[in-house]
A and B are shown apart, each in its own frame.
Chain A
């Protein structure tokens, strides 16, 4: 039997309010920026450890993402956040954040509906009149 891809929307995972959309977009931007920073650090010193302060902030972002994203879109089933005892490196952070950015975008795209040449957010299962910024949600978003 062929596998059917079911979107988050179709599974009933939809945004509940404009606030939730705003929070999602803020989180996506924050994780993207964190990814950029860690990519820069990783180019210089991929194996250098991430300090506890940065790790705490990254973990906060990841936990927020875990609470928004559905299980289907979660990058790794058994990864929740970094364990500071594992002394994760810059390249570890890049790997995980890249995955999260991609999955969050996919999740975001699932929450929109194309209509009249525009993408609109779906709120509580219905198309709203809030236009989605697809530049941020596409895989090759403009930096």
Chain B
């Protein structure tokens, strides 16, 4: 069995928690649902980021120069190539592969350099503005354009980070690196980069400080918080998005006012964390909801229990265990829901679990049953192999009956497999520790493990 939702570091067995490193750890098979916001580079206190933003804007405005010089075809080609940057794996698709924009969309963007005289003369300061003039330009498209123009820097950054953490690099050919001196894309370049294991595609990593879930300057925000409030007359009906974009093209000053507003409120523009734990208050509320749920399947109690535990556990165990996925599987005709965590071995206990049981990913099986039975333990037991190692956690409602606890001890004696059970009181203790911050909630899992080992023979 392969890793569930493999990440670059986990695949190579490198012990890194997302919290501790500068870049967003990319998935090998899918995109990270974030985008590079050029505004974060613009507002960054780092001179390097500011310089990169200047270079990015310069590259984009060069397209305007080409348009003004009647070299439209050349500009279209550059923009189409720049519109997709698969190597960074950012965006909202389920695979790492995206599609470039078409000629029509590229021409629509480039037409801004003709229609709007201020842009034609002075170019853009924030090129994400194009969303306010052209339809169908999504945030990941802006992100991809930014990454394409900054690809040369990202290659150096990736090599630097990979060497720092020992991520293996392989020689590969990377296409479409933007040469900012000659203002064109180099077709192919030989570099050493980390590759996806299956198809050997190159991977670029991106600093976390550049990432946001949505862009600071975006059309939804413009329409909702600016256009509807400032421009639209009272009792006037809100026009279609297309009409608003058209209005913007002929009212450059209005858009610039909005941009000024966004620039002035730049202190509020922060990069988004890759994982946001639920607030303490919310964890308590969710635990109270769990406590009230009946066991079994009455009124979908099992489904509700699984959903709540999933939300609570992902937050309680962060940042020691990065949440990988929630998945369903069927065993003996029974639908089972698991939570999978990356074991980044950031604390001694998880390191021991990796050493002793070979657990690269921790699996938690959720059981909203009145009493754990032999079948439940066997289901998890059958699942404990390869990447999950020989350590599993059952999350259930009540303590294991004596016979079942003995069953788990016997399992350890016979097969050296360790199954520990967390019940409501343990979850309550975890939530209490999460709230008071006196201890780490993961210590409760360690406690259960220590109790289990004390009961084991020898």
Contacts and interface: CB of A to CB of B under 8 A. Distances in A.
Interface stretch (A16-24, A48-56, A62-70, A133-141): A48-56
Interface stretch (B10-18, B365-373, B438-446): B438-446
A118 interface: no
Interface in A72-129: 83, 85-87, 89
B374 interface: no
Contacts of B436: 45, 48-49
A142 B351 CA distance: 50
A47 B430 CA distance: 10
Contact of B450 (A54, A86, A89): A86
B429 interface: yes
Interface in A28-61: 45, 47-52, 54
Interface in B426-458: 428-429, 432-433, 436, 438-439, 443-444, 446-447, 450-451
A87 to B, nearest CB: 5
Contacts of B443: 49, 85, 87
A50 B429 CA distance: 12
A49 B428 contact: no
B429 A85 contact: no
A51 B438 CA distance: 5
B432 A49 contact: yes
A5 to B, nearest CB: 36
Interface residues of A, number: 13
A50 B432 CA distance: 11
B438 A49 contact: yes
B439 A47 contact: no
Contacts of B428: 47
A87 B444 contact: yes
Nearest to B432: A48
Contacts of B450: 83, 85-86
A54 B438 CA distance: 9
Contact of A85 (B433, B438, B447): B447
A45 B432 contact: yes
Contacts of A89: 429
A85 B446 contact: yes
Contacts of B438: 48-51, 54
B314 to A, nearest CB: 21
Contacts of B444: 87
Question: Do most interface residues of chain B lie in helix, strand or loop, or is the interface mixed?
Answer: helix
Contacts of B446: 85
For B428, B432, B444, the residue with the greatest tally of chain A CB atoms inside 10 Å of its CB is: B432
Contacts of A51: 438-439
Nearest to B447: A87
Contacts of A47: 428-429, 432
A87 B429 CA distance: 9
A54 B447 CA distance: 18
Nearest to A52: B439
Nearest to A83: B450
A48 B433 contact: yes
B347 to A, nearest CB: 12
Residue of A50, A51, A52, A87 with most chain B CB atoms under a 10 A cut-off: A87
Interface string B81-117: 0000000000000000000000000000000000000
A87 B428 CA distance: 13
A52 B444 CA distance: 13
A98 B447 CA distance: 24
B106 to A, nearest CB: 59
A132 B446 CA distance: 46
Nearest to B449: A85
A84 to B, nearest CB: 8
30 contacts: A45-B432, A45-B436, A47-B428, A47-B429, A47-B432, A48-B432, A48-B433, A48-B436, A48-B438, A49-B429, A49-B433, A49-B436, A49-B438, A49-B439, A49-B443, A50-B438, A51-B438, A51-B439, A52-B439, A83-B450, A85-B443, A85-B446, A86-B447, A86-B450, A87-B429, A87-B433, A87-B439, A87-B444, A87-B447, A89-B429
| Smallest CB-CB A-B distances: 4 pairs | A51-B438, A49-B439, A85-B450, A87-B447
Given A85-B447, A87-B443, A89-B429, 18 more contacts: A45-B432, A45-B436, A47-B429, A47-B432, A48-B432, A48-B433, A48-B436, A49-B429, A49-B433, A49-B436, A50-B438, A52-B439, A54-B438, A83-B450, A86-B447, A86-B450, A86-B451, A87-B444
